[in-house]
């Protein structure tokens, strides 16, 4: 397993266009998270899946944002009608559930950087 | 609501020296976890060290150790024998035991290592 993979690494789009990011978590991890990180700031929580169920969504996740995790494997994050304020790094992370020392420790992907012109 | 504050936007240290990064947090909860993550330029966030709030003993991972002061709500990271590869953004993060799906992050400290 090569860790958490995110695609694309960089995306430049024009305002108003739709974009979709993909995240492939570590295969044995059943929890998947999306965070957004703007320049000079720490990440902000967007949403969380346990298997295929989306259990939590931040108020930051406006109606233009939607995330899915069909079959509890990879996840997609779609942003519709992008705005310049959506420019950020979108981070995906995964973790396992359990009571071992490594449980629920997040492993992050390298992120997908979005630039909206 | 919980908050995490890192008051040092940037720190620099001579190679092989020791540096301490500061983090304070605010919470009314008693059961939580604290983390330090490292983010090298253009690379992913990597866990450096973590601390369970119920443990009095400070966590240590090789050259990295923490000073956890629960009453003061302080969680500093000490890096000993600094190496060029330690250069990165360092983020302090908090996770509630009850809302264990969400990390709350500080703004980060940029660590520069001088050769």
Q: Does any CB of chain B come closer than 8 Å to the CB of residue A102?
A: no
What is the dihedral sign for C-alpha B107, B52, B11, B110? negative
Q: Does any CB of chain A come closer than 8 Å to the CB of residue B11?
A: no
Q: Is the pLDDT of residue B104 over 70?
A: yes
In whole numbers, what is the pLDDT of chain A averaged over residues?
91
What pLDDT, on the 0 to 100 scale, is given for residue A20? Answer: 98
What pLDDT, on the 0 to 100 scale, is given for residue A107? Answer: 93
Q: Is the pLDDT of residue A99 over 60?
A: no
Q: Which residues of B88-100 are buried (b: 16+ CB within 10 A; e: fewer)?
A: bbbbbbbbbeeeb
Q: Is the pLDDT of residue B5 over 70?
A: yes
What pLDDT, on the 0 to 100 scale, is given for residue B82? Answer: 98
Q: Is the pLDDT of residue A1 over 80?
A: no
Q: Which of the four pLDDT bands, split at 50, 70 and 90, describes residue A109? A: very high
CB spacing of B44 vs A108 below 8 angstroms? yes
A–B interface: beta-carbon pairs under 8 A: 49
Nearest-CA distance from B47 to chain A in Å? 8
Q: How far is CA B62 from the centre of its chain?
A: 15
Q: How far is CA B92 from the centre of its chain?
A: 4
What CA–CA distance (Å, rounded) separates A59 from B77? 31
What pLDDT, on the 0 to 100 scale, is given for residue A100? Answer: 52
Q: State the number of CA atoms in the 13 A half-sphere of B1 facing the CB.
A: 6
Q: Which of the four pLDDT bands, split at 50, 70 and 90, describes residue B64? A: very high
Nearest-CA distance from A61 to chain B in Å? 14
Q: Which of the four pLDDT bands, split at 50, 70 and 90, describes residue A61? A: confident
Mean pLDDT across the stretch A82-97? Answer: 93
Q: Which of the four pLDDT bands, split at 50, 70 and 90, describes residue B59? A: very high
Q: Does any CB of chain A come closer than 8 Å to the CB of residue B97?
A: no
In whole numbers, what is the pLDDT of chain B averaged over residues?
95
Q: Is the pLDDT of residue A30 over 70?
A: yes
Mean pLDDT across the stretch B99-114? Answer: 93
Mapping DSSP to helix (H, G, I), strand (E, B) and coil, where does residue A18 land? coil
Strand-pairing partners, residue A13, are A116
Mean pLDDT across the stretch B74-102? Answer: 94
Mean pLDDT across the stretch A54-63? Answer: 90
Mean pLDDT across the stretch B33-61? Answer: 93
Is residue A51 within 8 Å of A80, Cβ to Cβ? no
What pLDDT, on the 0 to 100 scale, is given for residue A72? Answer: 84
């Amino acid at each position: 397993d090569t860790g958490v993979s995110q695609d694309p690494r960089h995306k430049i789009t024009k305002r108003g266009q739709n974009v979709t990011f993909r995240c492939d978590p570590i295969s044995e991890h059943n929890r998947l998270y999306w965070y957004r990180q703007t320049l000079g700031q720490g990440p902000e929580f967007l949403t969380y899946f346990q298997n295929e169920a989306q259990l939590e969504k931040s108020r930051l996740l406006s109606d233009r944002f939607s995330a899915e995790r069909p079959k509890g494997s990879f996840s997609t994050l779609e942003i519709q009608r992008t705005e310049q304020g959506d420019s950020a790094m979108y981070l995906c992370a995964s973790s396992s559930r359990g009571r071992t020392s490594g449980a629920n420790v997040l492993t992050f992907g390298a992120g997908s950087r979005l630039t909206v012109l | 609501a919980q908050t995490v504050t890192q008051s040092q936007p940037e720190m620099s240290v001579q190679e092989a020296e020791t540096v301490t990064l500061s983090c304070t947090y605010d919470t009314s909860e008693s059961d939580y976890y604290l983390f330090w993550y490292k983010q090298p330029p253009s690379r992913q966030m990597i866990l450096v060290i973590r601390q369970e709030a119920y443990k009095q003993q400070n966590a240590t991972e090789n050259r990295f150790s923490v000073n956890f002061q629960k009453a003061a709500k302080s969680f500093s990271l000490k890096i000993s024998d600094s190496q060029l590869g330690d250069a990165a953004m360092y983020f302090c993060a908090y996770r509630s035991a009850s809302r264990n799906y969400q990390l709350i992050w500080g703004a980060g400290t940029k660590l520069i290592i001088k050769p």
